[in-house]
């Protein structure tokens, strides 16, 4: 595993908001990640979150839009926080070596896991509409960072990611959902609609790193095979709750008030600290 970004990679990430790192994992590590992710995803079945929905007496039934859900299911099979439900995934995600590269690249003091997710674009799957990540989450920060590990070669044909370079510096935390309109985000940010997104194919075992505010999307999968990826999104330590539930389980959510620090080590383990990082 690569743990140390070069000065040039740091400069590129700061300016563009994303970075491609080929051969981030060794061939052995790639095999371990593939096995662990396949196993954890199979165990999870149809459940996206790490907890099953908990309905309180008097709660309104959740609003459902069956057509939108059917479309989204064909963007990717999304299984969140596998580290919370699978021992091997827990070992892989909590390994301090994994977060060293992201911590050093982001320049933050310390990082907590916000959530991991397997993102498996199915054969002939829909494209991933352009979006930002942080507006979905329960905190605001300009320094959140995600590592996206390619478990299969991600190519122009099967739905590799595209990033709009520099857009992380312009983001206003407004967002649109990941729906069928690929470019809906550019109605919110019309001044960015003529900046070409950069396609980022990467071989299996490679990694993409991106700032949580950079505009990004992915192409359709035009092949008969799945495009598997495993990602981990990191929240800088010291962020506070903004009122959005996102992936927080109901029991924890009920204890939170807007403005509270998100520092629960059970939910958001501290995995990187500039002070104590391993050599």
Strand partners of residue 211 = 145
Among 9, 128, 167, 211, binds ligand AKG (CB under 6 A): 128
Restricting to residues 73-112, name those near ligand AKG by CB under 6 A.
76
Comparing CB distances to ligand AKG, the nearer of 110 and 185 is 185
Positive or negative, the CA dihedral 238, 239, 240, 245 is: negative
CB 230, min distance to ligand AKG, A: 10
Q: Minimum Å distance from CB 89 to ligand AKG?
A: 16
State the pairing for strand pair 216-218/128-131. Answer: antiparallel
Verify binding: residue 133, ligand AKG, rule CB under 6 A.
yes
Question: Rounded to the nearest whole angstrom, what is the least distance from the CB of residue 233 to Fe ion in the complex?
Answer: 8
In angstroms, give the least distance from the CB of 231 to ligand AKG: 4
Distance CA 260, CA 113 (A): 17
Q: To the nearest whole angstrom, how small is the minimum distance from the Cβ of residue 191 to Fe ion?
A: 21
Binding partner of residue 13 among Fe ion, ligand AKG, none, CB cut-off 5 to 8 Å per kind = none
Cβ 170 to ligand AKG shortest distance, Å: 18
How would you classify the pairing of strands 227-236 and 145-150? antiparallel
Q: How many CA atoms lie within 13 A of 239 on its CB side?
A: 25
The helix, strand and coil proportions of the chain, stated in percent and rounded to the nearest 5, come to 25, 20, 50
Span 214-233, contacts to ligand AKG by CB under 6 A: 216, 218, 229, 231
Question: Interface with Fe ion by CB under 5 A: which residues?
Answer: 133
- Measured distance CA(68)–CA(74) in Å, rounded: 10
From the list 185, 153, 154, the residue with the least C-alpha distance to 170 is 185
Partner whose footprint covers residue 228, from ligand AKG, Fe ion, none (CB < 5 to 8 Å by kind): none
Q: Which of residues 144-173 bind ligand AKG (CB under 6 A)?
A: 146, 148
**Which option in ligand AKG, Fe ion, none does residue 267 bind, with CB closer than 5 to 8 A by kind?**
none
Strand partners, 121: 227
Please identify, using beta-carbon distances, which residue of 133 and 152 lies nearer to Fe ion. 133
Q: Which residue has the tokens 């908990």?
A: 54
Q: What's the CA angle centered on 218, arms 40 and 33, to 5 degrees?
A: 25
8 A C-beta contact, residue 67 and residue 179: no
Residues binding ligand AKG (CB under 6 A): 76, 119, 121, 128, 133, 146, 148, 216, 218, 229, 231
């Amino acid at each position: 595993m690569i743990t140390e970004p070069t000065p040039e990679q740091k400069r590129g990430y700061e300016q563009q908001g994303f970075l491609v790192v080929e051969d981030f994992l060794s061939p052995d590590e790639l095999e371990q990640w593939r096995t662990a992710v396949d196993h954890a995803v199979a165990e999870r079945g149809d459940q996206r979150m790490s907890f099953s929905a908990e309905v309180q007496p008097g709660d309104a039934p959740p609003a459902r839009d069956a057509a939108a859900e059917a479309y989204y299911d064909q963007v990717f099979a999304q299984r969140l926080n596998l580290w919370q439900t699978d021992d091997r995934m827990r070992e892989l995600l909590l390994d301090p070596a994994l977060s060293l590269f992201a911590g050093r690249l982001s320049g933050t003091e310390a990082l907590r896991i916000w959530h991991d997710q397997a993102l498996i674009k199915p054969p002939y799957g829909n494209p991933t509409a352009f979006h930002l990540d942080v507006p979905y989450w329960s905190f605001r920060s300009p320094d959140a960072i995600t590592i996206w590990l390619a478990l299969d070669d991600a190519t122009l044909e099967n739905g590799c990611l595209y990033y709009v370079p520099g857009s992380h510096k312009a983001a206003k935390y407004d967002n649109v959902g990941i729906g069928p309109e690929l470019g809906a985000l550019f109605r919110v940010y019309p001044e960015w609609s003529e900046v070409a997104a950069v396609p980022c194919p990467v071989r299996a075992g490679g990694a993409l790193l991106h700032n949580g505010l950079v505009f990004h999307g992915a192409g359709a999968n035009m092949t008969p095979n799945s495009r598997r990826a495993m990602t981990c999104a990191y929240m800088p330590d010291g962020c506070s709750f903004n009122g959005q539930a996102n992936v927080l389980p109901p029991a924890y959510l009920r204890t939170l008030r807007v403005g509270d620090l998100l520092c629960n080590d059970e939910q958001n383990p501290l995995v990187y600290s500039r002070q104590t990082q391993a050599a």
